[in-house]
Amino acid sequence: MGGIKIEPKTAIFAGGCFWCMEEAFERLPGVIEAISGYTGGWVENPTYELVSTGETGHREAVKVIYDPSKISYERLLDVFWRNIDPTDPGGQFADRGEQYKTAIFYLDEEQRELAEESKRRLELSGIFDEPIATEILPAKEFYPAEDYHQGYYFRFEANYKGYKLYSGRLGFIKSVWEKNRHFRLFPEREGYWLGYVKPSDAELKRQLTPLQYRVTQLGDTEEPFHNEYWNNHEEGIYVDVVSGEPLFSLLDKYDSGTGWPSFTKPLEEWAVVEAGECEGFLCGREVRSRFAGSHLGHVFDEPTPTGKRYCINSAALRFIPRDELRRYGYTAYEGIFK
Residue 42 burial (10 A CB sphere; 0-12, 13-18, 19+):
exposed
- 163 lies in the same domain as 307: no
Active site residues per annotation: 17
* Radius of gyration over every alpha carbon of the chain, rounded to an integer in angstroms: 23
- 47 lies in the same domain as 164: yes
Chain-wide mean pLDDT for the chain? 90
- 156 lies in the same domain as 240: no
- 227 lies in the same domain as 156: no
What percentage of the chain carries pLDDT values higher than 70?
93
Q: Is the pLDDT of residue 263 over 60?
A: yes
pLDDT for the residue numbered 187: 64
What is the extent of the structural domain holding 126? 9-186
Tell me the pLDDT band of 158, cut-offs 50, 70 and 90.
very high
Residues near 248 by beta carbon (within 8 Å), at least 6 away in sequence: 237, 238, 261, 263, 266, 267, 271, 310, 312, 317
pLDDT for the residue numbered 321: 93
- 322-326 LR contacts (CB < 8 Å, sep 24+): 322/234, 322/235, 322/236, 324/236, 325/236, 325/237, 326/187, 326/188
- 154 lies in the same domain as 266: no
pLDDT for the residue numbered 2: 47
Q: Is the pLDDT of residue 89 over 80?
A: yes
Looking at per-residue pLDDT, the higher value among 179 and 42 belongs to 42
pLDDT for the residue numbered 4: 55
User: What's the pTM?
Assistant: 0.64
- 234 lies in the same domain as 182: no
Tell me the pLDDT band of 281, cut-offs 50, 70 and 90.
very low
Does residue 193 form part of some domain?
no
Domain count, the chain: 2
- 295 lies in the same domain as 171: no
CB of 80 within 8 A of CB of 177? Answer: no
pLDDT digits (tens, 9 = 90+) for 122-141: 998 889 999 999 999 999 99
Euclidean distance between CA atoms 255 and 308, whole angstroms: 14
pLDDT for the residue numbered 278: 61
- Which CATH number do you get for residue 42? 3.30.1060.10
pLDDT digits (tens, 9 = 90+) for 209-225: 999 999 999 999 999 99
